[in-house]
Amino acid sequence: MQRISLTSISILFFLAAAVLPLLFSTVPSLAGDKKHITVAGAADLAFALKEIAAEFEKETGYKVVLSMGSTGMLAKQIEHGAPFDIFFSADKGYVDRLAAKGLVLKDTVEIYARGRIVLATRKGSGVSLKGLRDLSGGSFRIAIANPDHAPYGIAAMEALKSAGVWEQMKSRLVYGENIRQALQYIQAGNAPAGIIALSVANVPEIDYSVIPAELHRPIDQAAAVVATSKEERIARDFIKYVNGPKGTPVMEKYGFTLPE
Amino acid sequence: MDLFPLYITVKVSLIATACTITVGLVLAWVMAKRAFWGKGLLDALIMQPLVIPPTVLGYYLLVAFGSSGPVGNFLEETLGIEVVFTWKGAVVAAFISSLPLFVKPARAAFEGVGADIENAARLLGKTEFEVIRTVTLPLAWRGLLAGAVMAFARATGEFGATLMIAGNIPGLTQTLPIAIYDAVQSGDYATANTLVGIITLFSFSVLYVAGRFSRVRF
């Protein structure tokens, strides 16, 4: 057994030389020096907000940092002082609760989309459905988002109850943690049918039909400026921008439509 | 390609591992060599992060270190340090979750160094510190290194607690595991694949170098 060899010392030295400057350098951060706003948004919005943010950056010179996550987690983080300027919630309820506690500015709460749900089937699964009533027969699994907390899951449950089939088929339901996971169950064929959001339904593997809006309470998605924002003016502008003539077409392209 | 996630991951896991080794050495040594009241309780407490889900750990940390929490309030008021939603929050998450992975093997390594050989050194007139430096540490060296490598690996891959306490803020707190999660969530598989490649390559090289190094004697 050798003592510490020259090679290993030099390897260590090399590692230290490579790593130490990293530790003490200032962070080459995107969110650092340049003027910026941080937007916390529900994961579904990633593509739409990215596109709108790029345009907004060009026009205003402000950098838009997007922090995507689940609505519930982002709301919890805002309660504990997260440095966000705007919150795009997938569920207006969360924004209202934060507004009641004074954590977001009440007068900035604005609906940016009204969600729609669709009845989806996997192509080639042999399952064909004309409407929600057809879900009561058969033995196949049906994917929805978790109706305990996911807004689209709650709407799916309400629609199934309105159609009068909830009791017959609830034992065949599989819950996705969010709407994207429910979609993945159908895409992968683990569940040949399901109820998902219109905004994620446009994928090659599935057929879908939109479920009538009367069957469930509206899925209103709202945004608001966070009370601790240091860039309140530009944050207000961004929400207006998303709902304005530049943002609306992009939002619609990704399936987020404003209520009429 | 934005390499910030790699940078912040390396920085956070190195600092966290350094903290883990410093605190862990003391804890492991005390638990291996000393009898005291509440040792079992302390052990169970340190091992907690191995058992409870990372998101739950993250929630505890968020509540404790948040601006309204007891620890967070103290740090902010008296020292002016903000922990949550900064890279320091990621360090705290990585430190707490990697601590048990260092303490467990380090304690076993210290216990493996028999009291006889240490007493022999004491009889020869060595002070306690000299016993540790010249007898215990050299003999326990491999177990300590193994623990350090495990701790570093855990710190690099830490996800759940980090997501809660540091958040997913690109350019500020978005570590590699979180950047990968973010890319998959938003359906950006090209970015996800690149980042997965980077983290795999990185962790593989670190473990390989550590493996080579463990053959060297103290």
Q: Return residues 147-206 of A near B (CB < 8 Å).
A: 180
pLDDT in tens, B87-126: 999 999 999 999 999 999 999 999 999 889 999 999 999 9
What residues in A contact B11, CB-CB < 8 Å? 22-23
Regarding an ipTM greater than 0.85, the answer is no
DSSP state of A133: G
**Interchain pair A8, B213: CB under 8 A:** yes
Backbone angles phi, psi at A120, to 5 degrees: -115, 140
8 Å CB contact of B217 and A3: yes
Residues of B in contact with A184 (CB under 8 A): none
Put simply, the answer to whether B10 touches A22 (Cβ < 8 Å) is yes
- Return the domain boundaries, chain A: 36-114+219-253, 117-210
pLDDT band at B77 (very low <50, low <70, confident <90, very high): confident
Share the mean pLDDT of chain A: 85
Chain B partners within 8 Å of A46 (Cβ): 182, 185-188
- The tokens for A170 are 């609830």
Residue A194, token pair as written in the block: 């399901």
Superfamily of domain A117-210: Periplasmic binding protein-like II (3.40.190.10)
Q: Per-residue confidence at A184, pLDDT binned at 50, 70, 90?
A: confident
Considering the domain delimited by A36-114+219-253, tell me its CATH architecture.
3-Layer(aba) Sandwich (3.40)
Q: Are B53 and B45 in contact (CB under 8 A)?
A: no
Using CA atoms, how far apart are residues B161 and B83, in angstroms rounded to an integer?
A: 13
Q: Is A18 on the interface with B (CB under 8 A)?
A: no
Task: Determine which of A17-21, A119-123, B81-85 has the lowest per-residue pLDDT on average.
Answer: A17-21
| Helix residue ranges per DSSP H, A137-231 | 151-162, 166-169, 179-187
Asked if A68 is an interface residue toward chain B (Cβ–Cβ < 8 A), one would say: yes
Residue A1: per-residue pLDDT: 41
* pLDDT above 90: residue A58: yes
Domains of chain B, each with CATH number or no CATH: 4-213 (1.10.3720.10)
Phi, psi of A132 (to 5 degrees): -60, -30
Tell me: the pLDDT tens digits for B191-215?
899 999 999 998 888 888 888 877 7
Which residue from B67, B170, B217 is facing A81, i.e. has the nearest CB? B67
Answer whether A19 sits within 8 Å of B10, measured CB to CB.
yes
Interface of B with A (CB under 8 A): 2, 4, 7-8, 10-11, 14-15, 59, 62-63, 66-69, 84-85, 87, 163-164, 167-172, 182, 185-188, 209, 212-213, 216-218
d(C-alpha A161, C-alpha A188), whole Å: 27
Owner of token pair 């309780």: B41
Q: Are B145 and B17 in contact (CB under 8 A)?
A: no
Q: Do the Cβ atoms of A73 and B164 come within 8 Å?
A: yes
A137 in reach of chain B (CB within 8 A): no
**B200 CA to chain A: closest CA distance, Å?**
18
- Topology match between the domains A36-114+219-253 and A117-210: yes
Least Cα separation, residue B2 to chain A (angstroms): 10
From the candidates B6, B159, B216, which should be mutated to test the interface with A, based on the most A CB atoms within 10 A? B216
**Using the beta-carbon criterion (under 8 Å), do A19 and B217 form an inter-chain contact?**
no
pLDDT at A2: 44
pLDDT of residue B184: 81
